[in-house]
Amino acid sequence: MARQVKIKDIAQMAGVSAGTVDRILHNRGNVSEASRTAVERVLAETGYRYNIHTSAVSLRKEYRIAIAIPTAVKGEYWDSVQSGIEHALDEYSDIRISREYAYYNQFDIYSCRASFESIAEGSPNAVIIGPTFVSETRSLCGELDRKGIPYAFVDSAIEGLNPALSFSCDQKACGRTVARLLHLTCPENSDFAILSSMRTGNGRSNNSLARKEGFTEYFMETCPGNAVMEAKFSVPDPEESERNVLNFIRENPSVKGIAVMNSRGYIIADILKRTGMEGISIVCFDLTSNNVRCIRNGSISAVVCQRPELQGFHAVRGLLRYLLYNQEDERKTHSMPVDIVMAENLPYYKEFLPE
Amino acid sequence: MARQVKIKDIAQMAGVSAGTVDRILHNRGNVSEASRTAVERVLAETGYRYNIHTSAVSLRKEYRIAIAIPTAVKGEYWDSVQSGIEHALDEYSDIRISREYAYYNQFDIYSCRASFESIAEGSPNAVIIGPTFVSETRSLCGELDRKGIPYAFVDSAIEGLNPALSFSCDQKACGRTVARLLHLTCPENSDFAILSSMRTGNGRSNNSLARKEGFTEYFMETCPGNAVMEAKFSVPDPEESERNVLNFIRENPSVKGIAVMNSRGYIIADILKRTGMEGISIVCFDLTSNNVRCIRNGSISAVVCQRPELQGFHAVRGLLRYLLYNQEDERKTHSMPVDIVMAENLPYYKEFLPE
DNA sequence: CTGTTAGCGCTTTCAT
DNA sequence: ATGAAAGCGCTAACAG
């Protein structure tokens, strides 16, 4: 069961005091080279791991963790991430942690800039970032690196930065999975289409790009004969969306499967449902409440999910471990599972069990 | 952030001592009705929740937890359950816990009886049970109830018993999900078959029954025109299996989809692969290493999983909370998510992230 | 029945 | 640079 050896034992074995061992364990300096090596040898020999609980008890510090993510709209993607964060905060509520959300509008680079600046000013102990805008993220992370504040990415990662932790799915694999599901849910010899929502801002769509890549790759390998088209719709302008979508479908009657590379599948599903179009399968991302509704009413065939809640949970958990125990040696980049949800398994889909 | 209020505060507010509050918190008796009500009022008012860490620190007790499950063969179902258990033991290694496995042969009721009897004799602090044989489980649980030892079920639950916790999937929903996947992966107008492995013992097949029910229900609702047949094969006798399976397929060429209501899909997949039969889709349960291999080589279309690892993990976690904090008020019966795994999302399928 | 008290193992001053 | 000692909040044994 390990954990029999305690700091006092280590101290005794190394011929120093508990205080010294603690200083070494936490790289707190003020130790002679001699003590350090002696203690480190004993540490290694005994495989010592210290007790989280007692540590947490005496560590009276309050940690402030800042969270910079797109505004969490109830029932949508970032809301799940936030639930995961809150869930973790609750699970670890015996450690004094305060959280501070700095939401930003994911379509507005200025709001992002403002949010990120406020974060840097607050000098929190750790930061969770949902990185939408690349350059903004870069400058925030630079600032944090300078201050020695650890940060974690959720949902996606920005290249060339050095987060303590990062969580995301292999987006190409997600795209392939969407392709497979669409392929399965359409009659043979269908053509397929990717419907993209036009973004107001320049956005990232980093994720969407990789998803498209995986998607088209799948069809090229599997049935190169079937066409994969592409069309656009607009989230803020429903009437225009409806016109565009219906036109596209009328002009391309061979298209029996539509992929939406984000969570907006319900918009298309609702249009088709409302206008009585049938026999077109829709697959998209994320179990938002709108998509749940559409899976239930049969207008969406399946959804691919990336455990947003678990990502939020583990971001907090990981940062805490980092702060409390200097456990930065762990694997930093976590590739989340890609979940498939359809009507049959929807009722049981949960990322958490307890509570 | 809660957790500012401590026992001493409660004690003061209720006009008693910390000891009394502790007694009340843990139903340890020896308290006057007056104190009890006073303290309980303050407790409710303040929303007090005590600190897990400090509690764990002073609670020096060693907990012994016994585990009675079918033998965990590497790479198979119960091995995953066991990983989850070990994972939890590791996560909570700051609490002194010792585990004792009492494996049994899930096809041999006598070995089960022996295992269960050894459990009862050991008087552990808590027990995790993989309940295969109904009457054996009943008598073990009766014994445990008598001794006041809490127990948790994993994988399935036996009716009429009173576990502190129980984890399982809605097996009917699993069956429907298998049906859906098979339906999707077969050409139109296929017929379908359930291949059942003949059991040596009388076994439970409680789970299989519910799975079949969901499966046939799906096809009755969705395409009553297509036949759903049934055939048998034998796990211990591969040659007989091969004869049976091949005969069945030759006699029923319209069958393009085969469901196996347990983890033995790879047996059928291997037979078809070896004999060069193509165009038959197989869907079964559980991500065992054999099934992983078959998904990779394309001989199994999809697999339905029930988070065995997470079940094991939460069984330990829940029992510990029960033991340490008397948190028996929680929801007892947990319905696990039903996961769908196919080639595209297989590489990322994990039940755990950390470590 | 109840209050008091001595730890649990770790962290953190504070002297030295 | 290092040891001694107090204290984190909770539990359990003991005295009353």
pLDDT at B325: 67
Q: Which residue has the tokens 């942690």?
A: A97
CA dist list (Å): A303 to A211, A285, A287, B202, B213: 13, 5, 7, 40, 26
Q: Within 10 Å of residue A326's Cβ, how many Cβ atoms?
A: 11
Pick the CATH number of B58-168+307-335 from 3.40.50.2300, 3.10.105.10, 3.20.20.140, 3.30.70.20: 3.40.50.2300
**Strand-by-strand arrangement of the A228-234 sheet:** A228-234, A191-198, A255-260, A281-285, A302-305, A339-341
Radius of gyration from C-alpha coordinates of chain B: 25
Here the tokens at position B352 are: 């755990």
Tell me the C-alpha distance between B79 and A218, whole Å. 33
Residue B330's pLDDT is what? 62
Please answer yes or no on whether A53 and B54 come within 8 Å at the CB atom.
Answer: yes
pLDDT bin (cut points 50, 70, 90) of residue B158 is: very high
> What's the confidence (pLDDT) of residue B96?
81
Q: Which residue is nearest to nucleotide D6 (CA to C1')?
A: A58
| Mean pLDDT value across residues B31-51 | 88
Residues 5-64 of A with CB under 8 A from B: 49, 51-54, 56-57
Distances (CA, A) of B5 to A34, A99, A210, B37, B56: 44, 19, 49, 18, 18
Residues 136-165 of B with CB under 8 A from A: none
Contact A208, A262 (CB under 8 A): yes
Q: How big is the CA angle at B348 (ends A330 and B166), to the nearest 5 degrees? A: 90
| Smallest Cα distance from A52 to chain B, Å | 6
Determine whether the interchain pair A185/B184 forms a contact, defined as Cβ–Cβ distance below 8 Å: yes
> Three-state DSSP class for B287?
coil
Q: What is the pLDDT along chain A (355 residues), one digit of tens a residue?
A: 345 788 999 999 999 999 999 998 888 878 899 999 999 999 888 888 778 788 878 877 788 999 999 999 999 999 999 999 999 888 887 777 889 999 999 889 999 999 999 999 998 999 999 998 999 999 999 999 999 899 999 999 999 999 999 999 999 999 999 999 999 999 988 999 999 887 655 444 678 889 999 999 999 999 999 999 999 988 888 899 999 999 999 999 999 999 999 999 999 999 999 999 999 999 999 999 999 999 999 999 999 999 999 999 999 988 988 887 665 556 689 999 999 999 999 999 998 876 5
Classify residue A347 by its DSSP letter.
G
Query: Residue B33: which residues within 8 A CB-CB, separation 6 or more?
Result: none
pLDDT for residue B47 is more than 60: yes
Q: Among chain A residues 225 through 244, which have CB within 7 angstroms of nucleic chain D? A: none
Give Cα B30 to chain centroid, integer Å. Answer: 39
What string of H, E and C letters represents the secondary structure of A114-183? HHHHHHHHHCCCEEEECCCCHHHHHHHHHHHHHHCCCEEEECCCCCCCCCCEEEECCHHHHHHHHHHHHH
Bases on strand D under 7 Å from any protein CB: 1-5, 7-14
Determine the angle formed by the axes of helices A18-25 and A33-46, rounding to 10 degrees. Answer: 80
For the whole model, what pTM was predicted? 0.91
Lowest mean pLDDT among A318-322, B112-116, B310-314: A318-322
Domain ranges in chain A are 7-48, 58-168+307-335, 171-305
Nearest-CA distance B109 → chain A (Å): 32
Show residues of chain A in contact with B86, CB under 8 Å: none
The CATH topology of domain B171-305 is Rossmann fold (3.40.50)
Domains A58-168+307-335 and A171-305 share a fold: yes
**Is residue B220 within 8 angstroms of chain A, CB to CB?**
no
